[in-house]
Structures are given as C-alpha cells and as structure tokens.
Structure 1
C-alpha cells in the first residue's frame, strides 16, 4: 500500500476534524511544514469548505506568507501559523472553531487563561505523564490586525499547553509533526468540552 503524501495526510486530518464539528463550513486553517530552511508551508487555502477540500487545492507558502505554489489565497491567519512555527519550532499548526473552544475562550477571556487540571487525558499532551497536574491554556483577545495578533500570541509561546485560545474565535494547537498537532487538538478539544460540561453540571454558570 502506497504511503499517503503530505497533501493527502493534511486533507485527511482536515476532513477528520470537520467531521467532529470543529471546523464547519470554511472555518479553521491548517498547515504542515514541508521544509524548515528555507521554510515551505503546506496549507489549506482561504475560503474553502473544509469538508470538501481536496489535496490538489492545497497551497504552499514561504516564510513571508506568500503563495509560492498553487492557485488559492493564503489565509490572513497564516501570520499566526508562522509565528507559532518560529517560536515553538512546530512542524504543524491546526486551528479549530469548535463550540467549546469558541465559547470558553470568550467566557474566560478576562482571566487571560483557562486552567485544565486533574484529568487523565492530560497525558495525551507531550511531556505530561500523570493526571495529577494542570495546564494553563493562554487566551488572547481577537484582533483583525494579524501582525498585532501574532505579536500578542508570541508573548505566550512556547507553552506547556501546546495550544492557545483566541477569544470568541477558537483553538490553535501545534506539534512537532502533523500527527502530534492532531493529537494535541483532539486532547485539548476533549478537555475543553469536559470543562464546559463540568461547569454546567456544578452550576458555575
């Protein structure tokens, strides 16, 4: 059986996240590093339905966010992907718009972070080997000026949470590889959903 190419692997990931309701419609953006020096980044183009995007629609961008291969347009949020890759030496960055991440990031925006602790699934994050710990996921204010947003995000990178929240917008998660980034998205989204459900169960809201 032939190995899946990087474009096929990225599309497989995008479709899987879409099926879970984490990037409905054209929401979300996703990237994987093809080469670090000089930087080449494979991405889904802006404005495509994430449930329908195909491998031949993906684009390649350089370290300035300029499209160097493909016909689509790079998302404005490419700048934030590039910032994460630079600051965390990430190999992949995935951005989702799940209900839990979108709601909790807005609800807890004033505190500047969301604490997740005591859950067995924390062990799915790289570097964590016990449930008896916590991670603090940074929350930054949304900003349509992506240079400003990226500069704000940079103050919180790298972090043990392997992700950050943009208030009222969603989750960014990353990893050394596409598989690592996907795992971190799945773990953080699971924990965010638990936090939401626990808050309702305990009458915090």
Structure 2
C-alpha cells in the first residue's frame, strides 16, 4: 500500500495543475490514484467540488465496490470507470478531463470508433512507444449516463488503447502505471488532440 499522505499531496497538486490548464473547469473532471491493488482501494477527488480548490485532506478513499471509506465526501458517478481501468489496465492512476479539444474531437469523429496518431515525436512520451513512426490508438466510445454500462463497454477496448480513451462529446480518460506517468500521458494525448483539431481547421474542405 502506498503512503497515503504523500499520495494525497501529489494527487492534489496534479489536479490543481490540470484545472489551471482549463482541462477541468468548474466541477468537471475526476481523478484517482491507486492506494493498493489487492483489495483495490482508490484515492479520489470528491464529486461536485471545484477542482482548482481540492486540498489533500479533501480527497476520499473508495473501495472496489465504489463505496466511500472516509467519513466525508461523495464519490463521482464515474467511479465504476476508474475501477475498471485500474483493474483491467493495471493502472496506478486515472485522470479524466473535460477539455475543449477532447470534447470537440470525440464528438466530431464519432461514430468512428477510434482516432489514431503517427509521425509525431511527442508520441515517444507514451509508455511503450520508441519511435515517431509508431501508431497510437485512442478508442472512441459513445457517451452514456449509465456509468456501470460504460465501464463494461470500455473494458474490452483497453488492450488496444494507447493509455487513453475518449467518450464522445464528453472528454478523455488517460492513465499510467504511476500518477506522474498518467499525467505525462494526459498531457501528450491532449497535445495530440489539439493537433488533430488544428489540422481539421487548416485542411481545405
């Protein structure tokens, strides 16, 4: 089990950095880090709070059934998705943003089932990729208000995903073995999604 106090400080800092970039405005987005795998326990941002104001002591602990173990705070409705990614992708942290570019691109491309990227040096920041010639794949899944169903539907897509998945018109989930790997993957995927948008703007119709 990871040191809870250190992880609280680190996750709180990452959440504030993401909010500062405009990727989780208002109370949007949700963020978690794995405290322990067996039995699974997550440290999460509470639901319904301004992510720019989250303090280490505000973070809640959630078990594998999505139950809040702390005496305060409510778990996000999207907790089942975090649990699915932590379990089936063996992720150490999961970061979910509602950025402009992830929302626009996912809505624009759906019902295509994926967006792919190749030819960019930034791809090498994704774990497992060593050349700009690699192809990174981000699945696109239909959005739903049934988070249990969404978690079920995204699980078989995880093996093909390059550390991220898009919900159409909703946003991006990114993950990594550690919190800082997840943050790196999030930043790279957001960069690539912005590139995709700008290419669409620049390409004559």
Instruction: Output the TM-score relative to the length of structure 1.
Output: 0.95
For 1:61, what is the secondary structure of its paired residue? Answer: strand
Residue of structure 2 equivalent to 1:8:
9
Does residue 117 (structure 1) correspond to residue 118 (structure 2)? The answer is yes
Residue of structure 2 equivalent to 1:22:
23
For 1:111, what is the secondary structure of its paired residue? Answer: coil
Does residue 178 (structure 1) correspond to residue 179 (structure 2)? The answer is yes
For 1:41, what is the secondary structure of its paired residue? Answer: strand
Matching of residues 18-167 of structure 1 within 5 Å: 18-167=19-168
Q: Which runs of 5+ in 2 are unaligned?
A: none
Q: Contact (CA 8 Å) 1:60, 1:68: kept in 2 or not?
A: yes
Q: Which runs of 5+ in 1 are unaligned?
A: none
2:187 and 2:8 map into 1 onto residues whose CA distance is 20
CA shift at 1:70, angstroms?
A: 4.0
2:166 and 2:204 map into 1 onto residues whose CA distance is 23
RMSD: 1.0
1:21 and 1:70 map into 2 onto residues whose CA distance is 30
2:200 and 2:125 map into 1 onto residues whose CA distance is 22
Residue deviations 1:55-88, cap 9 Å, x none? Answer: 1111000000000114000001000000001111
Q: Contact (CA 8 Å) 2:36, 2:42: kept in 1 or not?
A: yes
For 1:164, what is the secondary structure of its paired residue? Answer: strand
1:34 and 1:155 map into 2 onto residues whose CA distance is 24
2:52 and 2:76 map into 1 onto residues whose CA distance is 17
State the aligned residue count.
Answer: 201
Instruction: Output the TM-score relative to the length of structure 2.
Output: 0.95
Residue deviations 1:65-124, cap 9 Å, x none? Answer: 000114000001000000001111111000001100000001111111111111110001
Q: Contact (CA 8 Å) 1:45, 1:59: kept in 2 or not?
A: yes
CA shift at 1:159, angstroms?
A: 2.9
The structure 1 segments of at least 4 consecutive aligned residues displaced by more than 6 Å after TM superposition are: none
Q: Contact (CA 8 Å) 1:58, 1:70: kept in 2 or not?
A: no
